[in-house]
């Protein structure tokens, strides 16, 4: 039995960092070496640790605006746009200046020949020109702060357009101004209702039309404060707006429609800022079916597709991902307006036993907690509800009282229960006067409680007065049209508040200087090559990850001597820089117990290698480790986020089971443990069918040490795969039995 060498598990990520030992930064990480001279601190990989939040006040509320390419020509698109911009400027109190090289006036207003002729420096320039590139330099000379480019024909059209967009982006970087677009629209200049109060939704879309459902929430009494249509994001991107909106006091939630992310680290920093401020971010991110073009040699790489990483990164930083635009609007609306929950218990209140049972099944399946009400509470409810009806949860009233005060008493009694944080009343169809009185009682009760009251109005018509006036007229009742959207939103609401209550930014503890482990590991790296198993295990040793006792030998006699030192039984494996999965080639022999078996195995392994034309650096004679849970832990490179860490069930079935969880560094011990809880096979670590519980603490420590390796070697390591990592019984550690490493 192997003894424990992993030591006492420390309690936070900073301790993990110190476990590897911090030393002053070497010149190797040149991209991060200038961090001390920069305003934005960098981690050990040279990536920023703080979001660069642009001041967009003068974009959304400019004091002066220039419309470049203004027109009043009949039938021309620019004429309609110019008219709308004039009206928008008047609404926000901005002075507007029109620019056109040949028109002295537009819509009766003075028109200037160029931006340089304007009577004042403007905050925002709206470019209604086919090619915005020549205008950018002129805007820079006049120190315009923001510009919007509507023109299309850029990256969305292919390689040629992408090159044109890069030229535009380069000009913007030189100019010092900030650009929205190109290929954007007028959504930023929509008319927002000023008569609505309460926290607002701020909207970000990469396709303007996809934001329409959220924008129309204003017609249901839900406030909208901003709309950022980011288009092709040559400069300003969705992350900039998330960071900005997260600081706005009027913003209760941020709703996003995203087709792609421009920069992974910028997105994580923006989501981190929102999480620290407690501002929920709800996003539709298209591309769930993308399989990714990268062909991976490691098990880990095959487990991690592009969308898997995006999904994990969003969950890691508290971004609530939904699928449909209807879910986006309902979830963002609820999160913007609902108060902090006092409890996570959900009670279903219904006028129909069938409706209550149906909804409760769906809610429980989705993970909502439906507590059984106490006997005392049930006795109280039976004062007003017949004894033969179930009031344990769901609460079946058999028909909401219409003629007296009992209906309100029932609702108030449910809300008074300390285990209840949310009351949901599904009304599958109008049934006046009962449904009318029920709606009014729910609204009245909601006005007197801090707990969340939700109503599902299932009528397909939606013109009933109880819905249009009573329910939608209340800012305290969250009203839905479908069971599914209500459950999605309530689950997100409770999950968001659980997440933010315990959230600690991982960027605060991210390592900023390389460890001694990094120096040891760098000497082992071979750019552009795959390391042999022996060399890959040396890499693991450098980061304090335990491997079996083993020796690399080049003769049968040496193999016999090595087996005596390692201790029988042993495993023998071919080791070479071009070997990936050795089992398929017959290059692994296990359970060898005698010198004769060692000699025979050595001869067979070397014969197979010669036949397969596989160069070897020797044969590994390894300690045989049994009795544990086989896991896989590894590092892969994501085009968007850089190095990622994956953990899952390992062994020979790793690519069949596909049971893995992924995180983007940096992350702390809490996220490492959360990865394990996400696995379908998590119960194996707890011990099943008489097996002892596995050493989960040791597994978590390996994950954190691999994360440190990913951060320090992220630009030098293409893939790393430990499979299997044998997690021994509790208190005995974890051992990396095999490893594959590919250098960049």
Quick check: 601 and 583 in contact, CB under 8 A?
A: no
Residues 6+ apart with CB under 8 A from 651: 630, 632, 723, 724
**What is the sign, positive or negative, of the torsion defined by CA atoms of 309, 314, 317, 318?**
negative
Residue count of the chain:
744
Q: How far apart are CA 687 and CA 47, in angstroms?
A: 40
Q: How far apart are CA 2 and CA 16, in angstroms?
A: 23
Of 683, 646, 671, 639, the closest CA to residue 661 belongs to 646
Question: Is the bond preceding residue 433 a cis peptide, omega within 30 degrees?
Answer: yes
Tokens 């982006």 appear where? 169
Give the β-pairing of 550-553 and 420-427. unpaired
The crossing angle, in degrees rounded to 10, of helices 353-365 and 483-502 is 40
Quick check: 85 and 62 in contact, CB under 8 A?
A: no
Characterize 507-516 residue by residue with b for buried, 16 or more Cβ atoms within 10 angstroms of its Cβ, and e for exposed: bebbbbbbbe
pLDDT at site 289: 63
Quick check: 124 and 62 in contact, CB under 8 A?
A: yes
Joined together, the tokens standing for residue 407 give: 């209906």
Q: How far apart are CA 31 and CA 46, in angstroms?
A: 5
Q: How far apart are CA 508 and CA 512, in angstroms?
A: 10
The crossing angle, in degrees rounded to 10, of helices 264-276 and 238-245 is 10
Joined together, the tokens standing for residue 339 give: 């108060």
Residues 6+ apart with CB under 8 A from 591: 569, 571, 624
pLDDT at site 2: 35
Using alpha carbons, list the distances in angstroms from residue 722 to 205, 635, 695, 725. Answer: 40, 9, 17, 6
Joined together, the tokens standing for residue 726 give: 């044998």
Q: How far apart are CA 571 and CA 568, in angstroms?
A: 9
The whole model's pTM is what?
A: 0.89
Q: Taking the CA atoms of the chain, what radius of gyration do you get in angstroms?
A: 31
pLDDT at site 385: 95
Beta strands in 602-659 (DSSP E): 618-623, 629-638, 642-649
Q: How far apart are CA 212 and CA 190, in angstroms?
A: 11
From the CB of residue 709, how many other CB atoms can be counted at a distance below 10 Å?
28
Joined together, the tokens standing for residue 377 give: 């509470």
Residues 6+ apart with CB under 8 A from 300: 632, 633, 634, 635, 636, 646, 660, 719, 720, 721, 723
- What letter does residue 583 receive in the DSSP assignment? G
pLDDT at site 287: 79
pLDDT at site 27: 34
Mean pLDDT by 10 residues, the chain (744 residues): 34 37 36 47 94 93 96 91 96 96 95 94 96 92 94 91 95 95 93 92 92 92 96 95 97 95 95 98 83 38 65 96 96 96 96 94 97 97 95 93 90 97 94 93 96 96 93 94 97 97 95 94 93 94 96 96 95 88 86 96 94 91 92 93 94 76 96 96 88 95 97 92 95 95 93
Residues 6+ apart with CB under 8 A from 80: none
Q: How far apart are CA 484 and CA 422, in angstroms?
A: 16
Tokens 């030192």 appear where? 565
| Alpha-helical regions (H) of 543-591 | 556-566
Joined together, the tokens standing for residue 523 give: 């000497």
Quick check: 567 and 532 in contact, CB under 8 A?
A: no
Of 353, 149, 113, the closest CA to residue 231 belongs to 149
Residues 6+ apart with CB under 8 A from 251: 199, 200, 201, 202, 225, 226, 245, 279, 336
Joined together, the tokens standing for residue 326 give: 């209807």
User: Is 486 strand, coil or helix?
Assistant: helix
């Amino acid at each position: 039995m192997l003894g424990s060498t992993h030591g006492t598990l420390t309690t936070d990520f900073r301790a993990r960092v110190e476990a590897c030992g911090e030393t002053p930064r070497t010149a190797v990480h040149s991209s991060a070496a200038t961090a001390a001279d920069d305003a934005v601190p960098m981690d050990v990989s040279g990536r920023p640790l703080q979001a660069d939040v642009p001041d967009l006040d003068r974009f959304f509320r400019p004091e002066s605006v220039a419309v470049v390419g203004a027109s009043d020509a009949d039938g021309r698109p620019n004429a309609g746009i110019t008219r709308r911009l004039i009206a928008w400027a008047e609404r926000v109190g901005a002075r507007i200046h029109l620019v056109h090289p040949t028109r002295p006036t537009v819509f009766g207003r003075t028109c200037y020949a160029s931006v340089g002729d304007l009577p004042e420096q403007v905050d925002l320039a709206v470019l209604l020109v086919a090619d915005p590139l020549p205008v950018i330099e002129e805007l820079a000379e006049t120190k315009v702060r923001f510009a919007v480019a509507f023109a299309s024909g850029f990256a969305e059209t292919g390689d040629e357009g992408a090159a044109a967009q890069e030229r535009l982006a380069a000009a913007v970087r030189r100019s010092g101004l900030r650009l929205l677009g190109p290929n954007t629209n007028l959504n930023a200049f929509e008319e927002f209702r000023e008569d609505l109060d309460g926290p607002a939704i701020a909207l970000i879309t990469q396709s303007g039309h996809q934001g329409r459902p959220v924008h129309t929430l204003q017609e249901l009494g839900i406030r909208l404060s901003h709309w950022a249509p980011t288009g092709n994001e040559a400069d300003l991107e969705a992350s900039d707006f998330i960071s900005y909106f997260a600081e706005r006091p009027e913003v209760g939630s941020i709703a996003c429609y995203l087709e792609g992310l421009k920069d992974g680290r910028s997105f994580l920093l923006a989501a981190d800022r929102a999480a620290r401020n407690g501002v929920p971010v709800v996003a539709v991110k298209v591309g769930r079916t993308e399989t990714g073009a990268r062909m991976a040699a490691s098990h880990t790489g095959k487990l991690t597709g592009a969308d898997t990483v995006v999904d994990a990164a969003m969950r890691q930083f508290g971004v609530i991902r939904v699928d449909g635009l209807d879910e986006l609007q309902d979830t963002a609306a609820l999160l913007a307006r609902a108060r902090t929950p006092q409890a996570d218990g959900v009670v279903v209140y219904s006028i129909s036993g069938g409706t209550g049972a149906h909804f409760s099944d769906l809610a429980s399946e989705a993970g909502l907690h439906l507590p059984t009400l106490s006997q005392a509470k049930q006795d109280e409810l039976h004062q007003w509800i017949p004894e033969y009806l179930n009031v344990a949860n769901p609460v079946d009233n058999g028909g909401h009282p219409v003629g007296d005060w009992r209906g309100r008493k029932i609702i108030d009694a449910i809300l008074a229960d300390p285990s209840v944080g949310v009351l949901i009343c599904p009304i599958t169809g109008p049934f006046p006067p009962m449904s009318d009185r029920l709606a009014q009682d729910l609204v009245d009760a909601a006005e007197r409680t801090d707990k969340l009251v939700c109503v599902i109005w299932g009528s397909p018509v939606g013109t009933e007065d109880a819905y249009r006036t009573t329910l939608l007229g209340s800012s305290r009742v969250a009203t839905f049209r479908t069971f599914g959207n209500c459950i999605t939103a309530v689950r997100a609401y409770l999950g968001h508040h659980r997440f933010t209550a315990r959230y600690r930014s991982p960027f605060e503890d991210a390592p900023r200087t390389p460890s001694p482990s990094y120096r040891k590991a760098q000497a082992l790296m071979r750019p552009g090559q795959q390391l042999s198993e022996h060399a890959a295990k040396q890499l693991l040793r450098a980061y304090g990850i335990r491997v079996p006792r083993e020796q690399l030998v080049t003769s049968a006699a040496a193999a016999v001597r090595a087996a005596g030192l390692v201790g029988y039984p042993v495993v023998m494996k071919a080791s070479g820089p071009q070997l990936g999965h050795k089992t398929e080639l017959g290059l692994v022999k296990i359970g060898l117990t005698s010198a004769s078996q060692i000699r025979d195995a050595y001869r067979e392994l070397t014969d197979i290698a010669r036949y397969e034309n596989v160069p070897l650096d020797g044969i590994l004679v390894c300690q045989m480790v049994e009795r544990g849970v086989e896991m896989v832990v590894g590092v892969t490179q994501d085009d968007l986020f850089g190095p990622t860490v994956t953990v899952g069930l390992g062994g020979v079935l790793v690519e069949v089971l596909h049971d893995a969880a992924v995180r983007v560094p940096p992350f702390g011990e809490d996220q490492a443990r959360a990865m394990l809880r996400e696995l379908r096979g998590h119960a194996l670590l707890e011990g099943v069918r008489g097996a002892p519980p596995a050493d989960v603490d040791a597994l978590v420590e390996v994950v954190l040490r691999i994360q440190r390796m990913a951060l320090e070697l992220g630009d030098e390591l293409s893939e790393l795969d430990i499979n299997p990592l044998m997690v021994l019984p509790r208190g005995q550690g974890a051992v990396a039995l095999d490893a594959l490493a590919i250098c960049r």
